[in-house]
Amino acid sequence: MKTYNKPPKTFDEQIQILENRGLVINDRTRTKRHLSNVSYYRMSAYMLPFKKRDNLGKPLDEFVEGTTWDDVYNLYKFDRKLRLLVFDAIERIEIALRTQVIYQLSHKYGSHWQDQNALFMPPRLNTKTGKSYDVFADVQNHINDQLNANKRAVFIEHYMNTYDNPPTPPSWMSVELLYFSELSKICQNLKSRKDRTDIAAAFGIADETVFCSWLHTLNYLRNICAHHARLWNIELDVNPKKYINKNQNYIWLSNAEVQSAQTRRLYYSLCLILYLLQSVNPNTKFREHFKKLLADYPVVKLGYLGFPEDWDKHPLWAGKKNSCIIQK
């Protein structure tokens, strides 16, 4: 171990370092403007594909001949637009999830099902933290926090000024205010397996454990997008479950493709997003927008996202609804 003592560099010094390492800077003024708005450290991740490598594949502090600043910056722009595309898709899934949760549970258990402790799993020990986790108390706390934060919202104010029992608004008001993370926790911690399965079935998934796993993954990706973190070339900290599809109404990967999928790479997550969109928005343009994004940025190498060869010929990405959905 040693002490970190590197001094900060000016934008001009940063450009000089890049040039010394072989990066072609065609417009120093433009590059300086970019670095003044997007930090050198943030950009460094997008430089990796353009670095020379040693015999072990480790990147060197030297760029491949002919690499320009525009190559690096275009990869950054691709990632930014990819986040917007993914965030838009997750928004549609989140709203549909909220709708199904509220609709199904309110029809089964009444308008204020979220206030019924018996519907949720009992408190249990979190093996990671060593603390007890009570999902019902957690949901109640978040609802109360959101009601206080949104007390001037017209629909909340109307309920509070009109009704005194129950003290909090019905689920279609209260749960409407919850974050995606709380919706995911509700789905995962409903005591009745049938309740969990019925919600998953609305999205074409027969296995509720897979569905809950996917929701956890979507929440993870949503946070990446919302906080403008890097989506390109990431290895997910969560591991979405593999799913062998038996639903003839929706296109999915073949069994062999599922078994060989790198579930921590972005490709599998994009596939599960596209699968869920088939129920949420059958006329989704997600695949077309993604392909257009790739065409606009040919600098992108799909191997960094975990894409297999000929991915665009698969029915899921080709959009061929009449193709064989379940493949051996």
| pLDDT reading at 126 higher than 90 | no
Q: Provide the pLDDT for residue 325.
A: 39
Provide the β-strand partners of residue 190: 120
| pLDDT reading at 249 higher than 90 | no
For residues 162-171, average pLDDT: 95
DSSP 168-229: S--HHHHGGGS-HHHHHHHHHHBS-HHHHHHHHHTTT-S-HHHHHHHHHHHHHHHHHHHTT-
Single-letter amino acid code for the residue at 216: H
Q: Provide the pLDDT for residue 319.
A: 80
> Would strands 124-125 and 59-63 be described as parallel, antiparallel, or unpaired?
unpaired
Single-letter amino acid code for the residue at 6: K
Lowest-confidence segment of 147-161, 289-303, 310-324 by average pLDDT: 310-324
Q: Is-contact 174 147, C-beta < 8 A?
A: yes
Domain residue extents for the chain: 11-67, 77-318
Model confidence pLDDT, tens digit, residues 14-43? 999 999 999 999 999 999 999 999 999 999
Band (127; pLDDT cuts 50, 70, 90): confident
To the question of pTM greater than 0.85 for the whole model, the response is: yes
CA distances from 8 to 5, 40, 88 (A): 10, 11, 37
Secondary structure letter of residue 68 according to DSSP:
B
CA gap 220, 212 in Å, rounded: 12
Q: Is-contact 11 25, C-beta < 8 A?
A: no
Q: Phi, psi (5° rounding) for residue 62? A: -155, 130
3-state secondary structure of 244: coil
Sequence-ordered strand ranges (E) for the chain:
51-53, 59-63, 124-125, 132-133
Lowest-confidence segment of 20-29, 74-83, 134-143, 245-254 by average pLDDT: 245-254
Q: Provide the pLDDT for residue 125.
A: 84
| pLDDT reading at 322 higher than 90 | no
Q: Provide the pLDDT for residue 323.
A: 39
Model confidence pLDDT, tens digit, residues 180-231? 999 999 999 999 999 999 999 999 999 999 999 999 999 999 999 999 999 9
State the chain's mean pLDDT as an integer. 94
3-state secondary structure of 309: coil
Percent of the chain with pLDDT over 90: 90
Single-letter amino acid code for the residue at 305: L
- Select the more confidently predicted residue: 132 or 113: 113
Band (324; pLDDT cuts 50, 70, 90): very low
Residue 180 class from Cβ within 10 Å (0-12 exposed, 13-18 middle, 19+ buried)? buried
Single-letter amino acid code for the residue at 162: T
Lowest-confidence segment of 61-70, 293-302, 314-323 by average pLDDT: 314-323
Q: Provide the pLDDT for residue 320.
A: 65
3-state secondary structure of 24: strand
Q: Provide the pLDDT for residue 124.
A: 87
| pLDDT reading at 327 higher than 80 | no
CB atoms < 10 A from the CB of 230, how many? 15
- Select the more confidently predicted residue: 193 or 125: 193
- Select the more confidently predicted residue: 326 or 125: 125
Q: Provide the pLDDT for residue 129.
A: 81
CA atoms within 13 A on the CB side of 292: 7
Q: Provide the pLDDT for residue 128.
A: 78
Q: Is-contact 275 251, C-beta < 8 A?
A: yes
CA gap 191, 114 in Å, rounded: 13
For residues 268-292, average pLDDT: 96
3-state helix, strand, coil in the chain (%, to 5): 60, 5, 35
